[in-house]
Amino acid sequence: MIIIMLGAPGTGKGTVASILQEKLNIKHIATGDIFRKNIKEKTELGMLAEKYIIDGDLVPDDITIKVVEDRLNKPDIENGIILDGFPRTVRQAQELDIILQKKGKKVDRVINLVTPDEEIIERTINRRVCSNQECREVYNLLLKRPKIEGICDVCGSKLIKRKDDTEETVRTRLKTYFEQTSPLVEYYEKQGNLMTQQVSKSINKLGKDVAEDIVKILNNK
């Protein structure tokens, strides 16, 4: 099964995708993590992508498509994949369809998460992530605090705040999302594989609750 996670930054795509990975036994791939790993290791790709990510802009299509295509050739995704952070533009979606068609596959389900802007900003500036790239556990100082301050519950590594988790950057990323990425909703609606879920404390429905609902729907189908 091939699943795509859609939604503005801070809607909880990573949280939902991690739960789906465990429940459905398919690999969760976050393109943001791939870029951050390259930035940390100071690779050519990392240095190229860093200037875009820090400013809250999207990494250019040509670079992102190549990164994802290389990842789709790895053997660990034979059972399926959850793409988190890709595609982000209609062109990327069209290129993904072509890549999958060559493999005799297609996108099975697109999950679109929706959250109020101000809630996204509050959630993002309070986000902390595990510094261990093999773990990537995500915490929130308001919603999901670690048992020991600054330490990951899962692996014991240090928690960090991403450089781009600032209010100014988040607002830029939201503007970019609605200008360039939201047309994907219409693109996948036309394909008939879109599922929209609201994630918001205002309705007492957070990432874990949404993920459980999605698993039930997918298993029933």
The set of catalytic residues is: 13, 88, 127, 162, 173
Helix (H, G, I), strand (E, B) or coil at 138: strand
Query: What CA–CA distance (Å, rounded) separates 129 from 127?
Result: 7
What string of DSSP letters covers 175-211?
HHIIIIITHHHHHHHHHT-EEEEE-BGGGTB-HHHHH
**In whole angstroms, how far apart are CA 215 and each of 85, 105, 107, 108, 207?**
20, 21, 17, 14, 12
Query: What CA–CA distance (Å, rounded) separates 203 from 32?
Result: 28
Query: What CA–CA distance (Å, rounded) separates 170 from 152?
Result: 24
